[in-house]
Structure 1
């Protein structure tokens, strides 16, 4: 830290342990990250190709995937 810069965080009262200071920094970092995500429209979207849930077979309600001629092509594509 240079002589002309001010500390980002300053404890003005009490005698916190290093663990308490680390917990405080973790909470402040999480809050700042949540605020930044809210400003940017929430969590980043995952592409359908990168979504691993498409690899799990959806068997409820009898949906077993595409059937018929050419179904092997459609079986690898996201729905």
Structure 2
């Protein structure tokens, strides 16, 4: 069930949103069991830990947002 919480979407906008949801569900169902999905690799803590994190210092606050800084 899809519930519109805010706004007043047109029927075309609702159809587009439903098409995206159905396509994602079909893609997830077509993946073989045990294969890493998009969500799995995005939420993997090793992805964040593999990068060099900013070191403390006077300007470290400016480097915390930009990846690879």
TM-score band by shorter chain is 0.3 to 0.5
Higher helix share: 2
TM-score scaled to structure 2, two decimals? 0.46
Task: Please say which structure displays the higher CA radius of gyration.
Answer: 1
TM-score scaled to structure 1, two decimals? 0.40
